[in-house]
Each structure stands twice: as structure tokens, then as C-alpha cells.
Amino acid sequence: MFEIRPLSSQFSTASSKNLTIGLIPGDGIGCEVIPAAKLVLDSLPGKFKVKFSYHDLIAGFEHFQKSGVALPEDTVQALKQCDGGLFGAVSSPSHKVAGYSSPIVALRKKLDLYANVRPVISASKVKEHEKRINCVIVRENTECLYIKDEELTVDAQGQKVAIARRRISENASRRCGEMAFRLALGRQGMHKNKKDSRVTIVHKSNVLSVTDGLWRETVRSVHENNPKYHSVTMEEQLVDSMVYRLFREPQVFDVVVAPNLYGDILSDGAAALVGSLGVVPSANVGDDFVMGEPVHGSAPDIVGQNKSNPIAAIRSASLLLAHLGYSEAAACIDGAVDRVLVEGTVLTPDMGGKSSTMEVTEKICKYLA
């Protein structure tokens, strides 16, 4: 189970409330897994004293192909009026499409969702030869190469040269570092030994001494200048050796904090350690808003076949609740998901099963009680 504290005064201990959630299914299987997450939210027992209403919102590459707009301004403004959001998936073409840019990247910037929090957790029961993993990867969400500042030029010999600019700022690095150390502090209670509470700073400053150097120095300063974080161990890992260690000894990591590109790659790779991209959730977190988002993509090859894995979206809804202060309701969802994974009899094909999206969803809803 992923343990978290609400991250600002807005996300405080919750009382009985009606929550309005903005739903953006997006593309592909996003239109299948977001309704599954909604069904689970609506199946929560009444004892948690939370009811939901929803705004169905539009964004994505498919909408761009119809309208020429990937992220309507109406969607952004409607989302700002919600208590939180759930985003499904987006189809990102591998080639340049004139006028198109990713709506999820744009949403992160427009809503200032500066950290992407990605728990990677083994199911409660693992085989003896497997190593249990319970870590969270905190990915800076607004900068690095994802600012998409690229140009194509021609050199003196007439050969094409593509250039991408990378942005790392002190402000974004500090905020992401704060998020990581705050999460590590909140997770101390789940460790048998407080020394197991640690933040691993990922970088490649031995090569990128200016950009990654600034990232490293800024995140380190968050720990060094705040006595409240001194009970959390701080360590560093070069990104290439981090990949190696993550697969060799994943159990040693607690909270991992990385620039945008490294965090994206590490969290997708880490999904292989827990069975599938289809079970790994995330939350796009800012100071004033949270939006859950499964880590997987739009999976166009399985759209409409009722075999997409809904667990990542359902866990993303749980993360959203946890950030909004409904930790007991979130734990109930996590427990129901764990039970389904441990039993292993109702699983989608990506996890070696034969069950449908709805069969897995309905089994989780059954266990919520």
C-alpha cells in the first residue's frame, strides 16, 4: 500500500463531502479505463462519507484530428472548477504533426502540476525468488526536454542537424525536491527502521554539469537547509547506474526523484518489476490541484476488445483520493486491488490472465465491501 500525506493546506484531513471530479478519457483505452475507475469510486462503501459528481471533458489526439484542437480551453477552465481530475491516455504520433502538441503536457503546465508521483508497488504476496518493491518515483513534470524547444537546421555540408534545448530551473528543481522529501517523511511510519526512509537523487551531472548540476545542487539543498528532513537519508545515483540497480535490487529504494525525462523512463521500466504497465498509477500534483493518470499509453492495438487493464486507472483514482485527504477510502481501493492481484484468478491478458476489463473492475468493486 502507498502511504501519503495530503500535500498542502487544501489537501487536508477530509470530512463528509461531495467531490466533483473532471474526467478526461483522452484517446484509445483511456475511454475504457476511466469509466472503470469511475465505477470503482461510485462503489465505495457509504462509511467513507464521500460522494462524487463528474464533468466529462474532452482532449486528445483523436479530438485534434476532428477539430484541430488537442486541448480545448473549455476543458481547462472546467477542470479548474473541479476538486480533482482523472486523465486516461493520449496517442502521441511518433512523427511531427503540424499544429499538434500533447494535451497532457499542456495540462501539467497550465495547472502548474509540477510533480508526477508514481508509486511502484508489488502486490501483497510475491514469490520467494522475487524481490518486493515499494517505492515512489517523483518525476519533475514541467521542464527538461519536455519543453519541446526543437529546431531542424542544415550544416555547412548540407546535412540536416536536429537540436533540442533542455531547461532545468532552480525553482522547478526545488519544488520537486520538496515533494520528494515530504513524501519520504510521510512514509517513515511504514519502515521498520527510520534509516530506510531515503530519497535518491537521480542525475547525470558528470556529463551534463550545468543542467543536471543545477538539478543535483538544488535538490540537495532542500535536504541540507531543512532540519525537518534530516531524519531522511539522502543519496545520489547516476541515471545509468540507477537503471542497473533498479532491476538488480529494487527493494533498496524508497523515494526516487528525477528530472522529467529520466523519471519518465525509470518509472516505465520499473513497471516491469510489478507485472505490467497496466497496474502502475500516477498523480500529477501541484499546490492547488491533483490529477490522477495511469502510466500506460493509449494502446491502440487493443482498443475496443475489452481487455485493457483498468488497475492503473483505478489506482490513480485511489492516489487522487489520498492527495485530497481521503486516505481511508484510498486504502480501501488499494486493498481491493491487492486482493485481486494476489488471488490471480481474474486478470487481464497483459498479466497472463483471460479476464476482461469489466470482469476485473467488477471483482474489485465486489471486494470494496
In this prediction, residue 5 carries a pLDDT of 46
In this prediction, residue 161 carries a pLDDT of 96
- Nearest to 280, CA basis, from 300, 296, 292, 258: 296
In this prediction, residue 40 carries a pLDDT of 97
- Nearest to 107, CA basis, from 121, 126, 88: 88
Type of residue numbered 270:
A
Cα separation, 284 vs 238, whole angstroms: 25
In this prediction, residue 6 carries a pLDDT of 47
- Nearest to 39, CA basis, from 369, 350, 361: 361
For strand 198-203 and strand 255-258, is the pairing parallel, antiparallel, or unpaired? parallel
In this prediction, residue 4 carries a pLDDT of 52
In this prediction, residue 238 carries a pLDDT of 97
In this prediction, residue 158 carries a pLDDT of 94
DSSP conformation letters of 247-285:
HH-GGG-SEEEE-HHHHHHHHHHHGGGGT-GGG---EEE
Cα separation, 189 vs 19, whole angstroms: 29
In this prediction, residue 14 carries a pLDDT of 52
DSSP conformation letters of 181-238:
HHHHHHTGGGSSSGGG-EEEEEE-TTTSTTHHHHHHHHHHHHHHT-GGGTTSEEEEEE
Identify the segments of the chain with pLDDT beneath 70.
1-16, 124-131, 192-195
Provide the whole-model pTM: 0.88
Q: How far is CA 168 from the centre of its chain?
A: 20
